[in-house]
A and B are shown apart, each in its own frame.
Chain A
């Protein structure tokens, strides 16, 4: 008797399972499912937070208009947000989960290159579109069909800062301190060195540390002994304040410059007065915002009560770019959307005009910001 009940139960479970699979398959496409793979915890939580907030803002705006236009219909946008803990392996796992469990059409993120590169591999292998808002390392999109980004890449950025150091700061000698364990930092440090030396300068100290280090006094003493005219710190906003502080305490008085990983308000809260007079390259400057950017800044401020940083702006651009491709493709089909996305050559975003010349990397300009009176100030624009 007991066995019979067991058999009946087992039958039920199997049938229910089949029913569920069929049910899912037969369900019409009611919504546009997008994944967000963001650094919500770990060492750069502000990055993940901005990415999540910008996507939520975009989804809210689109859903208020009745949804995203796909063919004849308007479908609501639904976000699946995953935390990648700012770890390479978790970023890959998050991408995997978004694809296999949530069956998303495309993924926005990860942002940091160290996370974006492994996640990009997963997306490429599963033929799912991925757009990284903030990953500037060339390896993210290299040799991939499915992976795009909304930002410039590091060889351009390295060149911008090398040129800036040579021409504006009139530096003949430079020193670099970078995180050797992080793809982004390592990549841009090497590009900077290459372009600075090609431009006739000399890199007198090229020193590294490992993610999570808090004491840089040893490297900075070595740098001080080499007496550079400029110090380049292509590191993330949570580490730069300690580096600058220790550099000043070691008696280094030279100019300090950085890259787009500086562009978070956290940098100013953590760094304070030590950062005054430093320059860094980034994606956009709120003080020279175009009407489109102003609209975004206003909406973001109204919703969250703070100014959007560059990650938020780039995420918003990545999201809009994707939505445009979906609308143009007219169907929720990964292959068709990818092909449409690859055909978009010009896109006017919050962070300026992007031109895609085949491949996933846009050509766009960079801005250089100056830290003055505890604020980011627009200093110059550099065209590619």
Chain B
């Protein structure tokens, strides 16, 4: 009986870890894709996620407020499409305006610019929308279930499934389509590939568009699970997703997903094992350090040889 109780508890923690991990994974994908193609860390990515969460809130508020109740599916897909389109545009504009002019500059310049863009997005949101936390409307009513002592909601299941679907879709796009092939080609060699007729700039824009759109989707899903938004919400999640991308092997898409779930598990299980969440962030960052000592390329990353 006690064993059964313990198992149910473990399962409960695992389910919580999966929900959180899904959000981290979706954001980590954007870090990883941009790094893969530009070897640059886009530190504004967490804030693109934050903007996505706000956009999703407005879209669903608008659609829920329309006369005549729209079906839930329409509201969800409408909000998702709106959010993903606008965050994609945001990502592309940031790349075009802030990063492309610096492409020949030292990498440090681009990273500092990215931090600046992140600060801009936070403070722009703060100035225009205000610092008050905002509530995300529920697109569909929350149903609670309990199964053998494990409590879960339809929102949790929904998040898991949508995240999984997006990840599989992205994996398919990158591995099975011509565009994906071009992306992989640009990431493996940015000097030779243009000579073969691949429009490098367009592929880079596309990478930003896809990465940001997924972050936007992440923002929407996050809002469903944690329906209170504030302009600084992207900072902490951005950092955790960044660690997830590095742990998984930055530049590797499946690695980012794996890293996301690993970080979700770290966040959920650290307070359980240490009986305090005080050390949670230290554990996450120590994990990163230890991993990088033994496996500098991350879990799924492949070592690259610096070409001279």
Interface status of A208 (Cβ within 8 A of chain B)? yes
The docked-state distance in angstroms from the alpha carbon of A218 to that of B133 is 23
Contact among A40, A46, A242, A249 for B228, CB-based, below 8 A: A242
Interface segment, A61-69, A219-227, A289-297, A362-370?
A219-227
Query: For residue A43, which residues in chain B have a CB less than 8 angstroms away from its CB?
Result: 133, 230, 232
Partner of B226, one of A214, A224, A251: A214
Q: Do residues B131 and A45 form an inter-chain contact, with CB atoms below 8 A?
A: yes
User: A41-B131, A251-B151, A270-B135 are contacts. A212–B271 as well, Cβ < 8 Å?
Assistant: no
Contacts of B126 in A (CB 8 A): 41
Nearest A residue to B226 by beta-carbon distance?
A214
Which of B19, B135, B153 interacts with A269 by CB under 8 Å? B135
B16 touches A215 (CB 8 A): yes
Q: What residues of chain B lie closer than 8 Å to A356, measured between beta carbons?
A: none
Which candidate, B87-95, B190-198, B274-282, B286-294, is the interface stretch facing chain A? Answer: B274-282
> Chain B nearest CB: distance from A315 CB in Å?
18
Closest Cβ–Cβ distance, residue B125 to chain A (whole Å): 11
Q: Mark A193-236, 1 if CB is under 8 A from B, else 0.
A: 00000000000000111101111011101101100000000000
The total of interchain contacts (Cβ-Cβ below 8 angstroms) comes to: 91
Contacts of B9 in A (CB 8 A): 221, 225
Residues 113 to 139 of chain B near chain A (Cβ within 8 Å): 126, 130-133, 135
Contact assessment for A222 and B272 in the assembled complex, using a CB-CB cutoff below 8 Å: yes
B237: nearest residue on chain A (CB-CB)? A214
For the side of the interface on B, what is the size category?
A: 35 or more
A299 at the interface (CB under 8 A from B): no
A214 and B271: CB pair below 8 A? no
Task: Determine the distance from Cα of A242 to Cα of B136 in the docked complex, in whole angstroms.
Answer: 12
List the B side residues contacting A269 at CB < 8 Å.
135
Determine how close the nearest CB of chain A comes to the CB of B74; give it in whole angstroms: 24
A222 CB contacts on chain B under 8 angstroms: 271-272
A346 within 8 Å of B by Cβ?
Answer: no
| In the bound complex, CA of A213 to CA of B271 (Å) | 13
User: A242 contacts which chain B residues (CB < 8 A)?
Assistant: 226-228
Please give the distance in Å from B239's CB to the nearest CB on chain A: 11
A: number of interface residues (CB 8 Å): 34
Contact of B268 among A214, A218, A248, A272 (CB under 8 A): A218
Cross-chain contact of A217 among B19, B133, B144 (Cβ < 8 A) = B19
Whether the pair B278, A210 counts as a contact (CB closer than 8 A) is: yes
Q: How far is the CA of A225 from the CA of B16 in the complex (A)?
A: 15
A267 CA / B247 CA spacing, docked (Å):
37
Q: Chain B nearest CB: distance from A205 CB in Å?
A: 10
Which residues in chain B, 11-68, are within 8 Å of chain A measured between CB atoms? Answer: 12-13, 16, 19-20
Question: Do the beta carbons of B12 and A249 come within 8 Å of each other?
Answer: no
A215, B280: Cβ atoms under 8 Å? Answer: no
Please determine whether A219 and B271 come into contact, CB atoms closer than 8 angstroms. Answer: yes
Are the C-beta atoms of A218 and B267 separated by less than 8 Å? yes
B70 lies within 8 A of chain A by Cβ:
no
Closest to A250 in B: B151
Task: Say yes or no: A219 contacts B277, CB within 8 Å.
Answer: yes
Chain B nearest CB: distance from A230 CB in Å?
A: 19
B231 to chain A, nearest CB (A): 9
| Contact present for A212 and B236 (CB under 8 Å) | yes
Could you say which residues of chain A place their CB within 8 Å of the CB of B135? 241, 269-270, 272
CB contacts (< 8 Å) of A40 on chain B: these are 131
Bound: A268/B46 CA distance, A? 28
Q: How far is the CA of A218 from the CA of B271 in the complex (A)?
A: 7
A207 CB contacts on chain B under 8 angstroms? 271, 276-277
A43 to B235, alpha carbons, bound, how many Å?
A: 13
B233 within 8 A of A: yes
Q: With A207-B276, A208-B276, A251-B146 in contact, is A221–B13 under 8 Å at CB? A: yes
Out of B151, B237, B270, name the residue touching A249 (CB < 8 Å). B151
Contacting pair A266 B132 (CB below 8 A): yes
The 8 A CB mask of B226-261 against A (1 = contact, 0 = none) is 111010110111000000000000000000000000
CA distance A24 to B126 in the complex (A): 37
Closest to B264 in A: A215
Whether the pair B236, A270 counts as a contact (CB closer than 8 A) is no
- Are A45 and B132 in touch, CB under 8 angstroms? yes
* CB-nearest residue of chain A to B5: A225
Per a CB cutoff under 8 Å, which of B151, B232, B235, B267 touches A215?
A: B267
Q: Which residues of chain A come closer than 8 Å to B267, judged between CB atoms?
A: 215, 218
- Distance of A260 Cα from B230 Cα, bound (Å): 22
Once the chains bind, are A270 and B278 in contact (CB under 8 Å)? no
Residues of B within 8 A of A46 (CB): 132
* B142 / chain A contacts, CB cutoff of 8 Å: 249
Q: Assess A218 versus B132: contact at CB under 8 Å? Given A249-B144, A250-B151, A270-B228.
A: no
Residues of B within 8 A of A245 (CB): 227
Give Cα A35–Cα B131 distance, bound, in whole angstroms: 22
Q: Bound complex: CA of A221 vs CA of B228, how far in Å?
A: 21
B228 adjacent to A214 (CB under 8 Å): yes
Query: Contact at B13–A210, with CB atoms within 8 Å?
Result: no
CB distance from A193 to the nearest CB of B (A): 14
Nearest CB on A from B134, distance (A): 8
**Contact in complex: A221, B276 (CB < 8 Å):** no
B270 nearest CB neighbor, chain A only: A218
Verify B131–A42 contact, CB threshold 8 A.
Answer: yes
Q: Nearest chain B CB to A45's CB is how many angstroms away?
A: 4
- Do the beta carbons of B277 and A221 come within 8 Å of each other? no
Q: Which residues of B contact A215 (CB under 8 A)?
A: 16, 20, 226, 267-268
14 CB contacts below 8 A, A to B, read A41-B131, A180-B277, A208-B277, A210-B281, A218-B272, A221-B9, A222-B271, A222-B272, A225-B9, A241-B228, A245-B227, A249-B142, A266-B133, A269-B135
Residues of chain A having any CB pair with chain B under 8 Å: 40-43, 45-46, 180, 207-210, 212-215, 217-219, 221-222, 224-225, 238, 241-242, 245, 248-251, 266, 269-270, 272
Please give the residue numbers on chain B whose beta carbons come within 8 Å of chain A beta carbons, in ascending order.
Answer: 9, 12-13, 16, 19-20, 126, 130-133, 135, 142, 144, 146, 151, 153, 156, 226-228, 230, 232-233, 235-237, 267-272, 276-278, 280-281
Inter-chain pairs besides A215-B268, A248-B144, 11 sampled, C-beta below 8 Å: A40-B131, A41-B131, A42-B131, A45-B131, A210-B278, A212-B232, A214-B233, A215-B20, A215-B267, A251-B146, A266-B133
